[in-house]
Each structure stands twice: as C-alpha cells, then as structure tokens.
Amino acid sequence: MKIAFTVLLTIAAMISYSVMAEEPLEQTSPIANPLEQGKAIAFDRSVGNCLACHMIDDGELPGNSGPPLLQMKLRFPDREVLRAQVWDATVRNPNTVMPPYGKHKILNDKELDLVVDYLLSL
C-alpha cells in the first residue's frame, strides 16, 4: 500500500512540475553592439525602413516625408516619450503618416528598444 501511495504522489508531483515548467526561457542575443543592431533594423527596408521618410546619419537615399532624425537626445530628453512616439505616433498627432511600429506589431518589443536606443545616439 505504502509503495503504491508513494508512486502516486511522485506521479502527481511530476505532473504539477511539468505544468509549471512551460514558460520558455528568454533568449539572449550573442551580437555585441546593440547600437549596430538598432541601426540595422532602422535601415532595413523590410523591417524599420525609417530611411523611407527620414534622413538619418549616413543612410543612403533617404526620403524627406518626415523630419531628419538629428540631435534626438535634445529633442527627446525622456526616452519613454520617444519610445511612445515610435510605438504609436498617432497618439500625439492623429494626422501623422508615421506607421505605429509597436501598436501594429511591425517591430517587436526588443526591436523597438534597439531602434529607440539607436535613435537616441544620433
């Protein structure tokens, strides 16, 4: 009897453990320079494509539909304000043409943070 009881308890414990252990582990990127990563996302046509509208740093053939991205730390002393702007610029200006990168899942949270950090380095 005792053995049967122990076996049952063990099974119960194993099941509850398997239920708890379903969260995936956060993966950390091996690439060293986050600013380079942010720049790559901002310039890539199929990802951020910021150059379509904005002049940025040494980006080739930038558009002029949006303002040049210069002195971003002066213009956005509060990082969260800039992040919110990239997330959904229509909150501050309903008429803006800028795509809502976060709200519409064009970039994921990690990409968004990398881009914001890169922009603040300009």
Partner 1 sequence: MNSSNNKIGSAIALALMLIAGLLLSACTKQSPNHDPAALAKNAVDQAQTKYQASEQAAYAWVPAKVALTLATGAFEAGDMETALIEAERATMLTEASLAQAKVEQNAWLERFPKPPASTTETREKP
Partner 2 sequence: MSFKKEPCNYSLTNSPGISIPALMNYLAIACVVTILGYTGLQSPLAYGDPTADRQAMRALYQKRFPDIPVEAHKDGVYAFDQDAREQWLELEDFPPYEIAIDEGEELFNTALADGASYSDCFGDGAVKGQYPYFDENRSEVITLELAINDCRSQHDDQPLAYNGPEIARVAAYIAFLSRDQIIAVAEPTSPAALAAYNDGKRFYSSRKGQLNFACSSCHVQLAGKRLRSERLSASLGHVTHWPAYRLKWQDVGSLHRRFARCNQQVRAEPFAQQSPEYRNLEYFLTYIANGLPLNGPAIRK
Which does residue 99 touch among partner 2, partner 1, none (CB within 5 to 8 A, set by kind)?
partner 2
The site for partner 2, by CB under 8 A, has a size of 16
Residues 6+ apart with CB under 8 A from 45: 52
Which CB, 96 or 110, lies closer to partner 2?
Answer: 96
Q: Is 46 in the site for partner 2 (CB under 8 A)?
A: no
Of 7-15, 29-37, 48-56, 59-67, the segment contacting partner 1 by CB under 8 A is 7-15
Measured CA to CA, the distance from residue 48 to residue 60 in angstroms comes to 15
Question: Using the rule CB under 8 A, which residue among 38, 39, 41, 51 binds partner 2?
Answer: 51
Q: Is 19 in the site for partner 1 (CB under 8 A)?
A: yes
Distances (CA, A) of 23 to 11, 19, 44, 45, 68: 21, 9, 31, 33, 42
Q: Is 9 in the site for partner 1 (CB under 8 A)?
A: yes
Q: Is 11 in the site for partner 1 (CB under 8 A)?
A: yes
Residues 6+ apart with CB under 8 A from 101: 48, 86, 87, 88, 107, 112, 115
